[in-house]
Structure 1
């Protein structure tokens, strides 16, 4: 059960712990898991501090140097955010909370095998008991997150403020940025024939007919669907209009009547049919079957020939890599920028070598400046193969921060500092105007914030 202990704890960000019950002796008043603090409409229990310690330990965080006072301070901040979110009319709907809980529950079930195992791990009576417990926890966390986001999103920074921030850093304290590179690629995908597409469409129509004649959609999805995220669960998903699914999928799902099965339709992942199992207000229970048309060996050979021809033209100087990407690449995300890749961590074009994806690093680490790789085979999410060429368009050696060269990084550092100051100022103001009470021994804590209003 080690896997569930760690991963389930991380998913919800909370760990349930069995505490010894404290019984009061006759004639004596004795606190049972007493309230140690109140922030607005929220209370903090002594056990909340214990639970947070356990949560951090489950995530591998060393807690021996964290005091109970410091932990209470963090909990007080969370409650203040949540309380003020309500005052500012930030709305977290029951639907949003339930959608999040169901999504996380699906992930846990996928990891451990069944809902019963998850419920047993959390020592709950049944699914309703499990969801009832987590509902308030999830709602408060969402309110906290949205309030924090509102504070920092309102912070903007000007170029002059960035310059002032940079000039205020002593030369000996300037940050050092690691070696980086910019990478571009050209992608050629094999052309899937109409005949292969029609085979898939015909198969999905056949499966639809079988279900309409009495077969189980669940079993057909388990047997035939190629979606790894839902295949084992009979193709099941909960869906709202905010769910991060491709537009074509949501458009079809929300056009169906309860109990209806769609005709086959295409997305970037392949062809689908959807069965609308249940409508729950703005939430749908759907099942789907995904089948991707297969790339023939002939199409794969043609794609390789095409990319070899592109490479030769670039190497011979007939066309630049960037222009070849704009003209011939099948990857719409990078085509217009001349094939330049965007670092998903920073949303910049630079990749720090020590933090680069290992696969990408192995493909570019030996390339010289402007050298074009040999055709590389890559695989899409649906399992189909594609070819790509990679080149390094720019390199940046490890260096001390330079205002002109590293403006975006410096701007990010300056913005973070301004956001921290804005949060501190916000906290100071809201503490003054919010009802806060600290009880018992915790009144002796030396808090960073003025929770005791001294």
Structure 2
């Protein structure tokens, strides 16, 4: 599918583009679930699978979103997109039907790992899955189920493609010929750099946590004494914009909605009871259990986020300086230090190696540093995106026109992809002739 991004793609995007990718993922989910309420009809049948009008409409909406096409201002173009969408869905089902016949399967743990990463990204971006539900009116359980179905299909399709592409290779002569034939049509590229990074978040230290804890305890004392209600205190002090206006109320939720510390504390309460101070990745909370209905709970909370002070930033900078000094003194390699200290699981698995990255996708301070740092040199610690970082530049690549000397990897990848797509298109055409396909959609 062209619409489900892997956690790898999301992780390696800049903050700005990462938000755009996550928005597109949510758009996919919202479109899919809202389309279920439409009066449906049969658009096509592929083998044993029926493709519904609602699925075509969902796909068309997503293609339009990618192409930034307004369906209302470009009705004719959007109507044509519906046929493009149907063709894409048929091709997907051809791949899935082939996988079913050949018993090509994927491991559930691989699907769940990617789903967990996507849900974690949503949770971090919106400040909790409860906030996603408030913003879009879709329960986290439904979002998760949608992602599971889509990612499982994607991984099966990828497995079929790997089988098809396993023996496709490109020779040096093919790459050179590809470059010669297309060099005038290649777009100019931005400068890029291959680098590794160790990033640590600037987090509130013990003093900030203690001060915030004292604030919440004084709030609870006022509530317990009857001087103020939980709802009044939430409206006045809570830093959760999604629930503060509702007196801190999140509403009725199921297990799996909240991060573990919050959920554990909430489910341990009795009706009307208020928790002690609970720490999560989003800050410190007071939680009130409004009521319990079976295995669902209606909860309210007051969230206050400890603010990291100057001393916290200085302490983190000094820690990274020591890590850098140890690497320069050959006490450990950059890769070993990255694996030891990084919190991001994907970067940790790659020993901090980000790889070749378009500098235009990076924050301004990172662009400047990666453009000027000597290759092989480790930077001093620097702040960016609420983190302190050190980077090691492995190689730098100039922008401008593609050349065989500077962009061999990209050209080789482009030629390989061209051969793969030609193989895939021919294979799908052959499979479509063999399979039962009945197109019923008339627009």
Specify if TM > 0.5. Answer: yes
Note the 1:197-212 alignment, pairs <5 A.
197-212=209-224
Q: Say whether 1:262 aligns with 2:275.
A: yes
- Classify 1:223/1:181 alpha carbon distance in 2 versus 1 (closer, same or farther; 3 Å): same
Q: Match for residue 235 of structure 2?
A: 222
Asked if the contact 1:9–1:58 (Cα under 8 Å) also holds between the matched residues in 2, the reply is no
SS class of match (2:432): helix
Q: Match for residue 326 of structure 1?
A: 337
- Point out the more displaced range, 247-256 or 407-416: 407-416
Question: Which segments of 5 or more consecutive residues in structure 1 lack a partner in the other structure?
Answer: 1-5, 17-32, 89-100, 110-130, 343-347, 381-385, 443-454
Asked if the contact 2:59–2:85 (Cα under 8 Å) also holds between the matched residues in 1, the reply is no
- Out of 293, 306, 312, the position equivalent to 2:306 is 293
Whichever structure has more helix as a proportion of its residues is: 2
How far apart are the structure 2 equivalents of 1:143 and 1:397? 40
Question: Shift in Å at residue 49 of structure 1?
Answer: 7.3
Q: Match for residue 360 of structure 1?
A: 366
How far apart are the structure 2 equivalents of 1:204 and 1:44? 52
Question: Shift in Å at residue 155 of structure 1?
Answer: 2.7
Q: Match for residue 252 of structure 1?
A: 265
Q: Say whether 1:107 aligns with 2:135.
A: yes
- Out of 419, 438, 441, the position equivalent to 2:440 is 438
RMSD over equivalenced CA pairs, Å: 6.1
Question: Shift in Å at residue 392 of structure 1?
Answer: 2.0
How far apart are the structure 2 equivalents of 1:304 and 1:143? 40
Question: Shift in Å at residue 414 of structure 1?
Answer: 8.3
Note the 1:121-200 alignment, pairs <5 A.
145=150, 148-149=153-154, 151-155=156-160, 157=162, 161=166, 163-164=168-169, 171-173=176-178, 179-186=191-198, 194-200=206-212
Q: Which has the larger radius of gyration?
A: 1
- Classify 1:277/1:37 alpha carbon distance in 2 versus 1 (closer, same or farther; 3 Å): same
Question: Shift in Å at residue 419 of structure 1?
Answer: 10
How far apart are the structure 1 equivalents of 2:212 and 2:339? 28
How far apart are the structure 2 equivalents of 1:150 and 1:191? 36
How far apart are the structure 1 equivalents of 2:238 and 2:87? 48
Aligned length: 368
Q: Match for residue 390 of structure 1?
A: 391
**TM-score (norm. length: structure 1):** 0.55
